[in-house]
Amino acid sequence: MERAAVVSQIVQILSPYLGGTMAEASARAHCEKLGISGATITREQAEALIGKIASGLAVFIGREKAGAVVEEIRKAVGAEKVA
């Protein structure tokens, strides 16, 4: 998967909840922390990124709503949860 496209999808979905600037900063900061810097991103990396975002998102919008948003992100980026 293309990293820029994944980050763009995540930002688009998070923006209504966090605002565009915060959504983009969050996605990029988590990429950095996870060492995701290349042009592509694996499914495992995408799931790790989504997981990191999910934990912080629950604080802002609640656990239940965060779960629904995370599922929307997974569908949008084509990431399947890795066991």
Condensed to tens digits (0 to 9), the pLDDT of residues 23-55 reads 999 999 999 999 998 899 999 999 999 999 998
83 pLDDT band (50/70/90 cuts)?
very low
Q: How many domains does the chain have?
A: 1
**Angle CA(76)–CA(55)–CA(44) in degrees, nearest 5?**
50
Position 82 in a domain: no
pTM to 2 decimal places = 0.87
* 83 located within any domain: no
The predicted structure's pLDDT at residue 34: 95
Q: What is the residue range of 67's domain?
A: 3-77
Inform me whether the pLDDT recorded for 11 exceeds 60.
yes
DSSP secondary structure of 43-67: HHHHHHHHHHHHHHHHHHH-HHHHH
pLDDT of 16: 95
